[in-house]
Amino acid sequence: MPTALIVEDEPEANKLLGMLIKLRGYRSASAFNGREAQEQLGRHQPDVLFLDLMLPDLSGYDVCRAVKAAKATCLIPLIIVSARIAQRNRIDSYLAGADEFVAKPYTPDQIFEALKYAEALREQADRERIEGTARLADPDDEASVREVARLRSLILGRTPLDQEEAGRVNALIAQAEDRIVAWSDAHPGGAPGTLHYELSADRLVLTFREPIAWFEELQRTPDDPLFAGLERFQEVSLDRREGRLTLIKQWA
């Protein structure tokens, strides 16, 4: 039976959520503050984690960042359930690594849909070959932020790269995203950039698609930290005709 850890300091709210997930065949475990949640995660990894942002000791954002920064827990689907429903709270949750956001008060169907999404994420993480596309658009676009956060978790959790090296790869992706967004802002009218990724047993393939002019500008500054970071990849190829930049990192 799958397990859900509910991190919610209000006993009645914790109990209600536990009752709902049991209707979907989950066993529930409860934590009423951030430190208790961290202790439980150290003993047992649940199949899904529900997390309130407003806890009596730690910020829910900090708990989320800690879960998603650790190789052992980064692939646990993490669902924020919060009364802080402003768009900024949603975006900050995804920036911290959350996989989904459910606003309070919620309906049972919203919780059931979140569980269904968590199951899809677990299925994706178990595939031998994982691929997807993340949009590199407006930093205030919720879907874009969530897609990139998911890629960060997969690179950390599904590759043999250690935490430090996975962090370097993810930092390079973040730097590239910043350059692409800045270039697009300076040249309005074009389509937003995208990043297609493929993860397999022996490699990570990152393909940045239009615009690529940002990279051509970068080539003229080889001392730039982003350009220097490309040395971590075994292959870097630019196809101007197709409008794509491909980075390949191998480990087998």
What does the pLDDT look like over 120-135, one tens digit per residue? 999 999 999 999 999 8
Within 10 Å of residue 230's Cβ, how many Cβ atoms? 18
> What pLDDT is attached to residue 183?
85
Token pair for residue 45?
């990894």
> What pLDDT is attached to residue 186?
84
Q: In this predicted model, what pLDDT tens digit does every residue of 231-251 receive, in sequence order?
A: 999 999 999 888 899 999 999
> What pLDDT is attached to residue 87?
87
Residues of the chain with pLDDT under 70: 252
Strand, helix or coil at 10?
Answer: coil
> What pLDDT is attached to residue 220?
80
- Classify burial at 229, counting beta carbons within 10 Å of its beta carbon; exposed 0-12, middle 13-18, buried 19 or more: middle
Domains and CATH numbers, the chain: 3-125 (3.40.50.2300), 130-250 (3.30.565.10)
Q: Are 5 and 32 in contact (CB under 8 A)?
A: no
Q: Are 76 and 47 in contact (CB under 8 A)?
A: yes
- Classify burial at 227, counting beta carbons within 10 Å of its beta carbon; exposed 0-12, middle 13-18, buried 19 or more: middle
> What pLDDT is attached to residue 216?
82
Q: Are 204 and 249 in contact (CB under 8 A)?
A: yes
> What pLDDT is attached to residue 63?
97
